[in-house]
Homo-oligomer: A and B are copies of this chain.
Amino acid sequence: MNNIADYKIDHLSIGTVCSHSALQIFHGAKQEGFKTIGLTLPSRKSTYELFPLARPDEFIELESFKQLLTTENQKKLLDKNAIIIPHGSFVEYVGAKNILENYNVPVFGNKGSMIWESSREKVTQWMELAKLNVPKYKSPDEIDSLCIVKLGGAKGGRGFFLVKNETEFYDKLGPNKIEDVVVQEYIVGVRYYHHFFHSVIKNRTEFLGIDQRLESNVDGLHRIHEYVEPSYTVTGNAPVVIRESLVPGIIKMGENVVKASKELFSPGLSGPFCIETICTPDLKFYAFEISARIVAGTNVYPLGSQYSCYYFDEPMSTGRRIAREIKEAKQNDSLEKVVS
């Protein structure tokens, strides 16, 4: 239950945790005329003060991210009529369950989506309901080709490893438990991480851009011939575009993910999301993840992307798109539709 009904809608502010995609979110909120609030550890504050056009108007300093959940800090935000934009770090620090059950500040989008993106089983169920191609899951004794092993709850790809057969699986598993990992067919192809924005105000799913994650060390391995065990820590992102004949299928994927979400957690997904895919030589997309909130890959496009420019004749980042949605919801007196 959030308190949006009590908000003074002419004094809204937009807040988020100073990390992940916060510069873009603050920048976009300022472009749309909102006051901005940065939730930050003291150590990070000075960085966010450096950028004149992305600096939050106000900071709430936290000794640790646990304090995001305190009544006192929630009250501060409620008093400022703040809408929180939940990016990956926010979800990680507070926890999807806590956001759903113990967080009363209005959160942009549908909190239900955080539950559904946060567990491997749930997100797989979601992807399958949306008719996405999902790489096959396997039990250890079914490993008969290159597979990737993912630790449950591994953040940003850390702890993933590749195996070719059952023996290698057990060798590399180490102290981890079988029940804590999933084994998935490894798809060889080019990675495309598609950014969408589902607007409940405009009732449309926009395709706002594509990035590729740069993971260390795996995206440095092509420069050496020696065998080094690959690791998958996300370190950054690069811009890419897709063959145009694939765009209809990508938009279909986005629309299907929204449609499936309505069945799974009514009223369904709203706001920014991302479908992480691999494109194979026969031009099929395999989806291995849905991120049901703004992804860091959108940081590649703070002034808009190669696709956003076909929707908007002004620089439109995902951060700004969020603020625009809030502004239009306010104008239509439907704020309750865009927060939860």
**Taking the complex as formed, is A191 at the interface, i.e. its CB lies under 8 A from any CB of chain B?**
yes
- The reply to whether B302 and A53 form a contact with Cβ atoms under 8 Å apart is no
Pair A244/B299 contact, Cβ less than 8 Å: yes
Contact of B309 with A302 in the complex, beta carbons under 8 Å: yes
A263-294 interface bits toward B, Cβ cutoff 8 Å, 1 = contact, 0 = none = 00000000000000011111100000000000
| In the bound complex, CA of A284 to CA of B150 (Å) | 23
Q: Does A175 contact B (CB under 8 A)?
A: no
A162-B224, A190-B219, A220-B190 known; A233+B281 contact, CB < 8 A: yes
Asked if A222 meets B224 with Cβ closer than 8 Å, knowing A19-B244, A189-B216, A279-B236, the reply is no
Tell me how many chains of this kind the complex includes. Answer: 3
Chain B residues, CB < 8 A from A227:
225
By beta carbon, the residue of chain B nearest A205 is: B50
A37 to chain B: closest CB distance in Å?
17
Is residue A94 within 8 Å, beta carbon to beta carbon, of the partner chain? no
Once bound together, how far apart are the Cα atoms of A51 and B204, in whole Å? 11
Per-position 1/0 for A123-152, Cβ under 8 A of B: 000000000000000000000001000000
- Give A279 to B248 CA distance when docked, in angstroms: 34
Chain B residues near A186: list those with CB within 8 A.
Answer: 224
Q: Is A154 an interface residue (CB 8 A)?
A: no
A215 and B235 contact, CB distance less than 8 A: no
A165 to chain B, nearest CB (A): 12
Known: A188-B221, A214-B190, A240-B237. A51 touches B279 (CB 8 A): no
Interface size on A, residues (CB 8 A): 86
> In whole angstroms, what is the CA distance A54 to B312 when docked?
10
Structural contact, B219 and A223, CB atoms closer than 8 A: yes
Note all chain B residues with C-beta closer than 8 A to A22: 244
A226 to chain B: which residues have CB within 8 Å?
Answer: 146, 164
For A27, give its contact among B51, B244, B310 (CB under 8 Å).
Answer: B310
Closest B-chain residue to A31, C-beta based? B313
Q: How distant is the Cα of A23 from the Cα of B191 in the complex, in angstroms?
A: 22
Chain B residue nearest in CB terms to A303: B309
Whether the pair B241, A230 counts as a contact (CB closer than 8 A) is no
Q: Please name the residue on chain B nearest to A186 by beta carbon.
A: B224
- Asked whether any CB of chain B lies closer than 8 Å to the CB of A296, the reply is yes
A228 to B145, alpha carbons, bound, how many Å? 12
| CB-defined A-B contacts under 8 Å, sample of 16 | A47-B248, A146-B224, A188-B221, A188-B224, A188-B228, A189-B235, A192-B236, A214-B240, A216-B281, A216-B283, A232-B281, A234-B243, A236-B243, A241-B300, A302-B310, A303-B304
